[in-house]
Amino acid sequence: EDGLVLGIHPSVSELFPPSKLREELGDAPVVVEGMDGDADTDGLDGVVTFTYSEAFLDADLQWIHCVLAGVDAFPLDDLERAGIRLTNSSGVHGDAVGDTVLGYLLQFARRLHVYRDNEPERTWRYPDWHETFTLSGETVCVVGLGTLGQGVTSRAQGVGMDVAGVRRTPTPIPSVDDLYTPDALTEAVADARFVVLTVPLSERTRDLVGADELAAMRDDAYLVNVARGGVVDQDALVDALEAGEIAGAALDVFEEEPLPDDSPLWELENVIVTPHAAGATRDYAGRVAALIRENLTRIRDGDSLANQVV
Ligand code: NDP
Protein backbone atom coordinates (compact mmCIF):
# COMPACT_ATOMS: atom_id res chain seq x y z
CA GLU A 1 0.00 0.00 0.00
CA ASP A 2 2.98 2.32 0.52
CA GLY A 3 4.27 1.55 -2.93
CA LEU A 4 3.12 4.78 -4.58
CA VAL A 5 5.77 6.34 -6.81
CA LEU A 6 5.60 10.10 -7.31
CA GLY A 7 7.62 11.95 -9.94
CA ILE A 8 8.64 15.58 -9.52
CA HIS A 9 8.48 17.40 -12.85
CA PRO A 10 11.41 19.76 -13.52
CA SER A 11 8.97 22.65 -14.01
CA VAL A 12 8.40 22.92 -10.23
CA SER A 13 11.79 24.68 -10.17
CA GLU A 14 9.85 27.77 -11.33
CA LEU A 15 8.78 27.99 -7.67
CA PHE A 16 11.34 26.08 -5.58
CA PRO A 17 14.13 23.53 -6.07
CA PRO A 18 12.68 20.03 -6.69
CA SER A 19 15.21 18.74 -4.13
CA LYS A 20 13.50 20.91 -1.48
CA LEU A 21 10.20 19.13 -2.10
CA ARG A 22 11.91 15.71 -1.97
CA GLU A 23 13.41 16.70 1.35
CA GLU A 24 10.03 17.88 2.70
CA LEU A 25 8.49 14.54 1.66
CA GLY A 26 11.41 12.60 3.13
CA ASP A 27 9.44 10.68 5.75
CA ALA A 28 6.18 10.41 3.76
CA PRO A 29 4.99 6.95 2.72
CA VAL A 30 5.91 7.43 -0.92
CA VAL A 31 8.82 6.93 -3.29
CA VAL A 32 9.78 10.29 -4.76
CA GLU A 33 11.74 10.49 -8.00
CA GLY A 34 12.98 13.39 -10.07
CA MET A 35 11.86 13.45 -13.71
CA ASP A 36 14.21 14.18 -16.63
CA GLY A 37 11.44 15.57 -18.84
CA ASP A 38 7.78 15.37 -19.80
CA ALA A 39 7.94 11.77 -21.01
CA ASP A 40 9.98 10.40 -18.09
CA THR A 41 6.89 8.81 -16.54
CA ASP A 42 7.77 5.08 -16.58
CA GLY A 43 6.78 3.46 -13.31
CA LEU A 44 5.20 6.62 -11.92
CA ASP A 45 1.76 6.60 -10.26
CA GLY A 46 1.62 10.35 -9.85
CA VAL A 47 3.32 13.53 -10.96
CA VAL A 48 3.86 16.80 -9.10
CA THR A 49 4.15 19.62 -11.60
CA PHE A 50 3.98 23.34 -12.36
CA THR A 51 3.24 23.02 -16.12
CA TYR A 52 0.93 20.70 -18.01
CA SER A 53 2.29 18.33 -20.64
CA GLU A 54 0.32 16.20 -23.10
CA ALA A 55 2.69 13.35 -22.30
CA PHE A 56 0.88 13.03 -18.95
CA LEU A 57 -2.23 11.80 -20.77
CA ASP A 58 -0.40 8.86 -22.37
CA ALA A 59 1.35 7.87 -19.18
CA ASP A 60 -0.10 5.39 -16.73
CA LEU A 61 -0.75 8.04 -14.07
CA GLN A 62 -3.56 8.02 -11.53
CA TRP A 63 -2.85 11.41 -10.03
CA ILE A 64 -1.38 14.79 -10.98
CA HIS A 65 -0.75 17.38 -8.29
CA CYS A 66 -0.29 20.93 -9.58
CA VAL A 67 1.86 23.19 -7.40
CA LEU A 68 -0.33 26.17 -8.41
CA ALA A 69 -3.82 27.02 -7.18
CA GLY A 70 -4.97 28.01 -10.68
CA VAL A 71 -5.21 25.00 -13.00
CA ASP A 72 -6.68 26.96 -15.93
CA ALA A 73 -3.85 25.65 -18.17
CA PHE A 74 -4.91 22.00 -17.61
CA PRO A 75 -7.40 20.26 -19.97
CA LEU A 76 -9.89 19.10 -17.37
CA ASP A 77 -12.08 17.10 -19.78
CA ASP A 78 -9.12 15.20 -21.24
CA LEU A 79 -7.86 14.32 -17.78
CA GLU A 80 -11.30 13.15 -16.73
CA ARG A 81 -11.56 10.92 -19.82
CA ALA A 82 -8.10 9.50 -19.10
CA GLY A 83 -9.15 8.73 -15.53
CA ILE A 84 -6.39 10.89 -14.05
CA ARG A 85 -7.24 12.79 -10.88
CA LEU A 86 -6.00 16.38 -10.70
CA THR A 87 -5.45 18.23 -7.43
CA ASN A 88 -4.35 21.86 -7.06
CA SER A 89 -2.45 23.79 -4.39
CA SER A 90 -5.26 26.05 -3.28
CA GLY A 91 -4.92 26.80 0.42
CA VAL A 92 -1.20 27.51 0.52
CA HIS A 93 -1.11 31.14 -0.68
CA GLY A 94 -3.38 33.04 1.70
CA ASP A 95 -0.65 34.59 3.84
CA ALA A 96 1.79 35.36 1.02
CA VAL A 97 -0.78 36.88 -1.35
CA GLY A 98 -2.57 38.60 1.55
CA ASP A 99 0.69 40.28 2.58
CA THR A 100 1.48 41.26 -1.03
CA VAL A 101 -1.95 42.81 -1.58
CA LEU A 102 -1.78 44.72 1.70
CA GLY A 103 1.61 45.93 0.47
CA TYR A 104 0.13 47.25 -2.79
CA LEU A 105 -2.64 49.04 -0.89
CA LEU A 106 -0.13 50.62 1.47
CA GLN A 107 2.11 51.66 -1.43
CA PHE A 108 -0.73 53.49 -3.12
CA ALA A 109 -2.04 55.09 0.07
CA ARG A 110 1.39 56.06 1.42
CA ARG A 111 3.00 56.76 -2.02
CA LEU A 112 5.99 54.52 -1.26
CA HIS A 113 6.40 53.55 -4.92
CA VAL A 114 6.68 57.25 -5.86
CA TYR A 115 9.53 57.95 -3.40
CA ARG A 116 11.36 54.86 -4.65
CA ASP A 117 10.88 56.08 -8.24
CA ASN A 118 12.41 59.42 -7.19
CA GLU A 119 15.61 57.90 -5.79
CA PRO A 120 17.60 57.50 -9.05
CA GLU A 121 17.38 61.30 -9.60
CA ARG A 122 18.00 62.07 -5.90
CA THR A 123 14.63 63.89 -5.92
CA TRP A 124 13.41 65.05 -2.51
CA ARG A 125 9.76 65.86 -3.00
CA TYR A 126 7.15 66.12 -0.25
CA PRO A 127 3.76 64.92 -1.56
CA ASP A 128 0.96 67.38 -2.22
CA TRP A 129 -1.38 67.51 0.77
CA HIS A 130 -4.15 65.60 -1.00
CA GLU A 131 -2.00 62.82 -2.49
CA THR A 132 -1.65 60.66 0.59
CA PHE A 133 -4.30 58.90 2.63
CA THR A 134 -4.61 56.16 5.23
CA LEU A 135 -6.28 52.81 4.66
CA SER A 136 -8.45 53.07 7.74
CA GLY A 137 -12.00 53.98 6.76
CA GLU A 138 -11.41 53.28 3.03
CA THR A 139 -13.40 50.54 1.32
CA VAL A 140 -11.92 47.50 -0.41
CA CYS A 141 -14.01 45.20 -2.60
CA VAL A 142 -12.55 41.70 -2.91
CA VAL A 143 -13.84 39.59 -5.80
CA GLY A 144 -13.43 35.89 -4.94
CA LEU A 145 -13.42 34.95 -1.27
CA GLY A 146 -11.44 31.72 -1.08
CA THR A 147 -7.92 31.31 0.29
CA LEU A 148 -6.58 34.40 -1.47
CA GLY A 149 -9.66 36.54 -0.96
CA GLN A 150 -9.88 35.86 2.76
CA GLY A 151 -6.12 36.41 3.13
CA VAL A 152 -6.89 39.91 1.84
CA THR A 153 -10.15 40.58 3.71
CA SER A 154 -8.77 39.59 7.12
CA ARG A 155 -5.77 41.90 6.68
CA ALA A 156 -7.96 44.73 5.34
CA GLN A 157 -10.22 44.40 8.36
CA GLY A 158 -7.13 44.43 10.58
CA VAL A 159 -6.09 47.87 9.32
CA GLY A 160 -9.60 49.28 9.77
CA MET A 161 -10.92 49.16 6.23
CA ASP A 162 -14.54 48.61 5.28
CA VAL A 163 -14.68 45.31 3.44
CA ALA A 164 -17.02 44.32 0.63
CA GLY A 165 -16.77 40.94 -1.08
CA VAL A 166 -18.13 39.10 -4.11
CA ARG A 167 -18.69 35.35 -4.47
CA ARG A 168 -21.36 33.08 -5.94
CA THR A 169 -22.29 31.45 -2.63
CA PRO A 170 -23.62 34.15 -0.30
CA THR A 171 -22.41 32.49 2.91
CA PRO A 172 -21.35 35.12 5.48
CA ILE A 173 -17.61 35.52 6.16
CA PRO A 174 -16.48 37.21 9.41
CA SER A 175 -14.00 39.55 7.71
CA VAL A 176 -16.51 40.72 5.06
CA ASP A 177 -19.00 43.46 5.97
CA ASP A 178 -21.01 43.53 2.74
CA LEU A 179 -21.41 40.45 0.59
CA TYR A 180 -22.48 40.60 -3.08
CA THR A 181 -23.08 37.97 -5.75
CA PRO A 182 -21.45 38.25 -9.22
CA ASP A 183 -24.62 39.66 -10.86
CA ALA A 184 -24.18 42.75 -8.64
CA LEU A 185 -20.50 43.22 -9.50
CA THR A 186 -20.79 46.80 -10.79
CA GLU A 187 -22.72 47.77 -7.68
CA ALA A 188 -20.12 46.05 -5.46
CA VAL A 189 -17.17 47.91 -7.01
CA ALA A 190 -18.86 51.31 -7.28
CA ASP A 191 -17.98 52.60 -3.80
CA ALA A 192 -14.61 50.92 -3.38
CA ARG A 193 -11.28 52.74 -3.22
CA PHE A 194 -9.63 49.41 -4.04
CA VAL A 195 -10.97 46.49 -6.09
CA VAL A 196 -8.99 43.28 -5.61
CA LEU A 197 -9.42 40.28 -7.94
CA THR A 198 -8.88 36.86 -6.36
CA VAL A 199 -11.11 34.56 -8.48
CA PRO A 200 -10.04 31.51 -10.50
CA LEU A 201 -10.00 32.02 -14.29
CA SER A 202 -12.94 30.19 -15.81
CA GLU A 203 -15.42 30.72 -18.63
CA ARG A 204 -17.45 32.81 -16.20
CA THR A 205 -14.62 34.99 -15.00
CA ARG A 206 -12.80 35.59 -18.30
CA ASP A 207 -12.86 39.38 -18.93
CA LEU A 208 -14.92 39.78 -15.75
CA VAL A 209 -13.53 43.29 -15.44
CA GLY A 210 -13.89 45.21 -18.71
CA ALA A 211 -14.80 48.71 -19.84
CA ASP A 212 -18.19 48.69 -18.02
CA GLU A 213 -16.79 47.60 -14.66
CA LEU A 214 -13.87 50.04 -14.94
CA ALA A 215 -16.32 52.83 -15.74
CA ALA A 216 -18.39 51.85 -12.70
CA MET A 217 -15.35 52.24 -10.44
CA ARG A 218 -14.52 55.56 -8.75
CA ASP A 219 -12.01 57.72 -10.56
CA ASP A 220 -9.79 57.62 -7.45
CA ALA A 221 -9.99 53.80 -7.25
CA TYR A 222 -7.16 51.31 -7.71
CA LEU A 223 -7.50 47.88 -9.33
CA VAL A 224 -5.44 44.99 -7.97
CA ASN A 225 -5.20 41.75 -9.97
CA VAL A 226 -3.51 38.77 -8.32
CA ALA A 227 -5.86 36.21 -9.94
CA ARG A 228 -5.11 35.59 -13.64
CA GLY A 229 -4.52 38.03 -16.49
CA GLY A 230 -7.55 36.75 -18.39
CA VAL A 231 -9.90 37.96 -15.65
CA VAL A 232 -9.29 41.54 -16.85
CA ASP A 233 -9.73 42.93 -20.36
CA GLN A 234 -6.19 44.31 -20.46
CA ASP A 235 -6.74 46.71 -23.39
CA ALA A 236 -9.75 48.22 -21.63
CA LEU A 237 -7.64 48.56 -18.48
CA VAL A 238 -4.85 50.41 -20.32
CA ASP A 239 -7.47 52.73 -21.85
CA ALA A 240 -9.04 53.41 -18.43
CA LEU A 241 -5.63 54.10 -16.87
CA GLU A 242 -4.54 56.42 -19.67
CA ALA A 243 -7.85 58.29 -19.60
CA GLY A 244 -7.68 58.68 -15.81
CA GLU A 245 -10.92 56.76 -15.34
CA ILE A 246 -9.28 54.99 -12.41
CA ALA A 247 -6.31 56.12 -10.31
CA GLY A 248 -3.98 53.17 -10.82
CA ALA A 249 -3.43 49.44 -10.72
CA ALA A 250 -1.23 46.79 -9.11
CA LEU A 251 -0.89 43.81 -11.41
CA ASP A 252 0.81 40.49 -10.68
CA VAL A 253 -0.72 38.58 -13.60
CA PHE A 254 -1.14 39.39 -17.29
CA GLU A 255 -2.73 38.13 -20.48
CA GLU A 256 0.79 37.27 -21.66
CA GLU A 257 3.57 36.39 -19.20
CA PRO A 258 6.28 37.53 -18.94
CA LEU A 259 4.70 40.92 -19.69
CA PRO A 260 6.06 41.86 -23.17
CA ASP A 261 8.64 44.67 -23.39
CA ASP A 262 6.31 46.84 -25.47
CA SER A 263 3.39 46.73 -23.04
CA PRO A 264 2.28 50.26 -22.05
CA LEU A 265 1.79 48.92 -18.50
CA TRP A 266 5.56 49.04 -17.90
CA GLU A 267 5.57 52.80 -18.49
CA LEU A 268 2.58 53.98 -16.50
CA GLU A 269 3.67 55.64 -13.25
CA ASN A 270 0.49 54.70 -11.43
CA VAL A 271 0.87 51.00 -12.24
CA ILE A 272 2.83 48.57 -10.09
CA VAL A 273 3.95 45.51 -12.08
CA THR A 274 5.08 42.40 -10.20
CA PRO A 275 6.27 39.19 -11.93
CA HIS A 276 3.49 36.74 -10.92
CA ALA A 277 5.16 36.60 -7.53
CA ALA A 278 2.35 37.57 -5.15
CA GLY A 279 2.33 34.05 -3.72
CA ALA A 280 6.09 33.57 -3.53
CA THR A 281 7.43 32.55 -0.11
CA ARG A 282 10.26 30.40 1.18
CA ASP A 283 7.62 28.24 2.89
CA TYR A 284 6.09 27.25 -0.46
CA ALA A 285 7.60 23.75 -0.82
CA GLY A 286 6.73 22.87 2.77
CA ARG A 287 3.12 23.92 2.32
CA VAL A 288 2.78 21.95 -0.92
CA ALA A 289 4.37 18.93 0.77
CA ALA A 290 1.73 19.12 3.53
CA LEU A 291 -1.02 18.96 0.89
CA ILE A 292 0.63 16.01 -0.84
CA ARG A 293 1.02 14.18 2.49
CA GLU A 294 -2.65 14.72 3.26
CA ASN A 295 -3.62 13.22 -0.08
CA LEU A 296 -1.24 10.27 0.31
CA THR A 297 -3.10 9.43 3.52
CA ARG A 298 -6.44 9.80 1.74
CA ILE A 299 -5.32 7.57 -1.15
CA ARG A 300 -4.17 4.95 1.39
CA ASP A 301 -7.55 5.13 3.17
CA GLY A 302 -9.53 5.14 -0.07
CA ASP A 303 -10.99 8.57 0.76
CA SER A 304 -11.73 11.35 -1.73
CA LEU A 305 -8.81 13.71 -2.32
CA ALA A 306 -8.39 17.20 -0.86
CA ASN A 307 -8.32 19.99 -3.47
CA GLN A 308 -9.54 17.63 -6.17
CA VAL A 309 -10.40 19.47 -9.39
CA VAL A 310 -10.96 16.41 -11.63
P1 NDP B 1 -10.24 29.25 -3.93
O2 NDP B 1 -10.84 28.13 -4.67
O3 NDP B 1 -9.86 29.08 -2.51
O4 NDP B 1 -11.21 30.53 -4.01
C5 NDP B 1 -11.87 30.93 -5.16
C6 NDP B 1 -13.00 31.88 -4.76
O7 NDP B 1 -13.57 32.46 -5.93
C8 NDP B 1 -14.12 31.23 -4.00
O9 NDP B 1 -14.46 32.07 -2.92
C10 NDP B 1 -15.28 31.18 -5.01
O11 NDP B 1 -16.47 31.25 -4.25
C12 NDP B 1 -15.01 32.44 -5.82
N13 NDP B 1 -15.57 32.45 -7.16
C14 NDP B 1 -15.54 31.50 -8.10
N15 NDP B 1 -16.14 31.92 -9.23
C16 NDP B 1 -16.55 33.18 -8.99
C17 NDP B 1 -17.25 34.16 -9.77
N18 NDP B 1 -17.66 33.89 -11.02
N19 NDP B 1 -17.47 35.37 -9.22
C20 NDP B 1 -17.08 35.64 -7.97
N21 NDP B 1 -16.44 34.74 -7.17
C22 NDP B 1 -16.19 33.53 -7.69
O23 NDP B 1 -8.96 29.68 -4.79
P24 NDP B 1 -7.67 30.47 -4.26
O25 NDP B 1 -8.09 31.62 -3.44
O26 NDP B 1 -6.66 29.53 -3.73
O27 NDP B 1 -7.08 30.99 -5.66
C28 NDP B 1 -7.87 31.78 -6.52
C29 NDP B 1 -7.12 32.01 -7.83
O30 NDP B 1 -6.05 32.91 -7.61
C31 NDP B 1 -6.46 30.76 -8.40
O32 NDP B 1 -7.37 30.02 -9.20
C33 NDP B 1 -5.31 31.31 -9.20
O34 NDP B 1 -5.72 31.56 -10.52
C35 NDP B 1 -4.99 32.64 -8.51
N36 NDP B 1 -3.73 32.59 -7.74
C37 NDP B 1 -2.73 33.49 -8.04
C38 NDP B 1 -1.55 33.48 -7.33
C39 NDP B 1 -0.47 34.47 -7.64
O40 NDP B 1 0.69 34.22 -7.36
N41 NDP B 1 -0.77 35.62 -8.20
C42 NDP B 1 -1.29 32.51 -6.25
C43 NDP B 1 -2.41 31.63 -6.00
C44 NDP B 1 -3.57 31.69 -6.72
P45 NDP B 1 -17.85 30.72 -4.80
O46 NDP B 1 -17.64 29.29 -5.19
O47 NDP B 1 -18.81 30.93 -3.69
O48 NDP B 1 -18.15 31.59 -5.97
pTM metric for this prediction? 0.97
- Helix H or strand E segment including 179: strand 178-180
Asked if 50 and 275 touch (Cβ cutoff 8 Å), the reply is: no
Tell me if 209 CB under 6 Å of ligand 1: no
pLDDT at 91 over 80: yes
Q: Which of 23, 131, 187, 257 is catalytic?
A: 257
Find the largest Cα–Cα distance for the chain. 68
What is the band of 78 on the pLDDT scale with cuts at 50, 70, 90?
very high
Q: What is the pLDDT of residue 3?
A: 78
Q: 211 by DSSP, 3-state: which? A: helix
9 catalytic residue (yes or no): no
Mean pLDDT of 44-56: 97
- Could you give the percent of the chain with pLDDT greater than 90? 98
Give the tens place of pLDDT for each residue, 54-64: 999 999 999 99
Q: Which of 24, 228, 245, 287 is catalytic?
A: 228
Q: 242 by DSSP, 3-state: which? A: helix
pLDDT at 1 over 80: no
Q: What is the pLDDT of residue 208?
A: 98
- Closest-CA residue, ligand 1 atom 30, reads 227
CA of 232 to the centre of ligand 1 (A): 14
Q: What is the pLDDT of residue 306?
A: 98
Give the tens place of pLDDT for each residue, 246-271: 999 999 999 999 999 999 999 999 99
- For this complex, say whether ipTM is above 0.85: yes
Our mutation pick for probing the ligand 1 site, out of 72, 167, 309, counting the most ligand atoms within 8 A of Cβ, is: 167
- Closest-CA residue, ligand 1 atom 4, reads 146
85-87, strands of its sheet edge to edge: 31-34, 5-8, 46-49, 63-66, 85-87
> 172: burial class by Cβ within 10 Å (0-12, 13-18, 19+)?
exposed
Q: What is the pLDDT of residue 279?
A: 98
What is the band of 2 on the pLDDT scale with cuts at 50, 70, 90?
low
- Helix H or strand E segment including 222: strand 222-225
Give the tens place of pLDDT for each residue, 142-183: 999 999 999 999 999 999 999 999 999 999 999 999 999 999
- Looking at every residue in the chain, the average pLDDT score rounds to 97
Tell me if 138 CB under 6 Å of ligand 1: no
